[in-house]
Chains A and B, each alone.
Chain A
Amino acid sequence: EVQLVESGGGLVQPGGSLRLSCAASGFTFSSYWMSWVRQAPGKGLEWVANIKQDGSEKYYVDSVKGRFTISRDNAKNSLYLQMNSLRAEDTAVYYCARPVLLGASGYFDYWGQGTLVTVSS
């Protein structure tokens, strides 16, 4: 059974940093691209970042470029999101998701339950 379990969320002050983790199990983690998707309270879904199987390619939504870094450790079956210079508008539930790629497009077939990040003073 595929499982994605996020951790690391919490309350952080504006300008602060936080590192999210996602523990994957039930599939060959190193064979899949991985992604982060977020959802602000009462708002819609927003794709945040993608990372290739070996970590050699990374893609970000414009609003987090230069502040967030997606990474992975295939030996530990883990995905990470380092978030720096956090802003109030980064407040959201952050989901780890496994994408199935179709060319440069793709869809998410498995999702974690999410971890809440709150940016507030």
Chain B
Amino acid sequence: SYELTQPPSVSVSPGQTARITCSGDALPKQYAYWYQQKPGQAPVLVIYKDSERPSGIPERFSGSSSGTTVTLTISGVQAEDEADYYCQSADSSGTYLWVFGGGTKLTVL
């Protein structure tokens, strides 16, 4: 089955830039999406179509894609950004089978 690979954890100090990667063989062919999840809450979409930001999401959140890796970048990290982040995409078969990455815990030091 298709998998997306994320680092388990990333740590940054406030004001610095956090980069969270997600790797998968189908990412050159399929869009990636990113979600933020805080404890006890449902996930919130922060990036769609690799790099588009939904309304209401701060400009410090951005996304990029290069080959089989997509990256979520959070510039000027704030304490409130501490959360779990998940990438999500589809396999390359075109059969509506979707997958999440394992998640990355962002710690703001």
User: Contact between B86 and A109 (Cβ–Cβ < 8 Å)?
Assistant: no
The smallest C-beta distance from A88 to any residue of chain B, in angstroms, reads: 20
Across the interface, which residues of B come within 8 angstroms of A89, CB to CB? none
Asked if A105 and B30 sit within 8 Å, CB to CB, the answer is yes
A46 CB contacts on chain B under 8 angstroms: 100
CA distance A95 to B29 in the complex (A): 27
Residues of B within 8 A of A (CB-CB), count? 28
For chain A, the count of residues having a C-beta within 8 Å of the partner chain is 25
Q: How many Å lie between the Cα of A28 and that of B41 in the bound state? A: 25
Taking a contact as CB atoms under 8 Å apart, the answer to whether B98 and A50 are in contact is: yes
For residues 28 through 51 of chain B, which have their beta carbon under 8 Å from a beta carbon of chain A?
30-31, 33, 35, 37, 42-43, 45, 48-49
B14 interface contact, C-beta 8 A: no
Q: Which residue of B lies closest to A95 (CB)?
A: B42
The answer to the question of A103 belonging to the interface, with a C-beta cut-off of 8 Å to chain B, is yes
- Check A112/B95 contact, CB under 8 A, given A45-B103, A102-B49: no
Q: How far is the CB of A11 from chain B (nearest CB, A)?
A: 20
Check A104/B90 contact, CB under 8 A, given A109-B45, A112-B42: yes
Q: State the 7 A-B residue pairs at the shortest beta-carbon distance, nearest first.
A: A107-B33, A111-B42, A105-B90, A44-B103, A104-B94, A47-B98, A45-B100
Known pairs A44-B84, A45-B103, A95-B43. 4 more at Cβ < 8 A? A44-B100, A105-B30, A108-B33, A111-B42
